[in-house]
């Protein structure tokens, strides 16, 4: 069956209610595991916009934060390890924490990757696949190098639209083809999706599940409980690390 035909046939079945919308996996245990979210990593000019400055950490600040985690006994794990723990009860190290980086910016390779290797840490990188190779983004060689070094490379759509605001056919294509693109380059399963802008609803969750993802990452708008269960793996909330936050505040996010 041609790929496009398969996509739209599957989508039609989904919209007709033939395919299930959400998982029903259960787990007796729950564990508090922080998931942190980073975006840009660079030193900015004082003339940069307040919004860009809020979302951009300096390399020195990221180094301090990762160093603090290691110095206080935390063990970084990937989103894939977290999901394996939640769904299949795979063991985790003491004081686990997940670091995630969204979009696939080139500074993730130039800044985050060396810092993570310096401290012998791992992280998950969510990639906008149509951006790969463009000037501000990593290229496939860099992504493969990071994957070979133990970093977890997962999907963040083709073009980063707000999935809840576009037609269902386009939303499913963004989800499904981003997975296919990454898998064809990495030669391994890609099982976790990050919602662009953190936007999702029941229909989008259903599409993500049907596309073959085992879990999805959202964004938390406030501090709160980091308790996840196996039946909630399509809404794993992450706390955004903002530039203006102090190291003391960062320490609070890790609890």
CA–CA separation, 177 and 101 (whole Å): 20
Residue 221 falls within a domain, yes or no?
yes
Residue 183 falls within a domain, yes or no?
yes
Q: What is the pLDDT along the chain (255 residues), one digit of tens a residue?
A: 444 444 444 444 444 333 433 333 333 334 589 999 999 999 988 888 888 888 899 999 999 999 999 999 999 999 999 999 999 999 999 999 999 999 999 999 999 999 999 999 999 999 999 999 999 999 999 999 999 999 999 999 999 999 999 999 999 999 999 999 999 999 999 999 999 999 999 999 999 999 999 999 999 753 344 556 666 899 999 999 988 888 998 988 887
* Per-residue buried b or exposed e for 193-212, using 16+ beta carbons within 10 Å of the residue's own CB: bbbbebebeebbbbbbbbbe
| Total domains present in the chain | 1
The domain containing residue 114 runs over which residues? Answer: 31-253
Residue 232 falls within a domain, yes or no?
yes
**228 has which bridge partners?**
31
For 60, other C-beta atoms within 10 Å of its C-beta total 11
Residue 239 falls within a domain, yes or no?
yes
CATH of the domain at 239: 3.20.20.370
Residue 3 falls within a domain, yes or no?
no
């Amino acid at each position: 069956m041609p790929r496009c035909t398969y996509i739209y046939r599957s989508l039609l079945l989904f919209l007709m209610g033939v395919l299930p919308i959400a998982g029903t996996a259960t787990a007796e245990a729950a564990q508090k595991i922080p998931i942190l979210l980073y975006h840009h990593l660079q030193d900015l000019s004082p003339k940069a916009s307040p919004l860009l400055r809020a979302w951009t950490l300096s390399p020195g600040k990221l180094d301090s934060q990762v160093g603090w985690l290691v110095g206080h006994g935390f063990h970084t794990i990937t989103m894939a390890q977290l999901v394996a723990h939640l769904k299949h009860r795979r063991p985790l190290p003491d004081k686990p924490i997940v670091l995630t980086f969204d979009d696939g910016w080139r500074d993730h390779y130039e800044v985050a990757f060396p810092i993570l290797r310096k401290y012998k840490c791992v992280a998950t990188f969510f990639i906008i696949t149509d951006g790969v190779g463009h000037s501000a983004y990593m290229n496939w060689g860099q992504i493969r190098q990071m994957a070979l070094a133990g970093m977890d490379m997962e999907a963040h759509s083709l073009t980063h639209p707000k999935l809840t605001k576009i037609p269902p056919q386009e939303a499913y294509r963004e989800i499904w083809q981003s997975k296919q693109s990454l898998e064809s380059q990495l030669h391994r399963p890609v099982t976790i999706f990050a919602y662009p802008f953190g936007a999702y609803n029941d229909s989008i969750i259903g599409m993500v599940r049907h596309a073959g993802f085992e879990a999805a990452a959202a964004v938390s708008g406030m501090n709160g409980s980091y308790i996840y269960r196996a039946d909630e793996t399509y809404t794993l909330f992450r706390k955004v690390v903002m530039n203006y936050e102090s190291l003391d505040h960062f320490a609070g996010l890790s609890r």
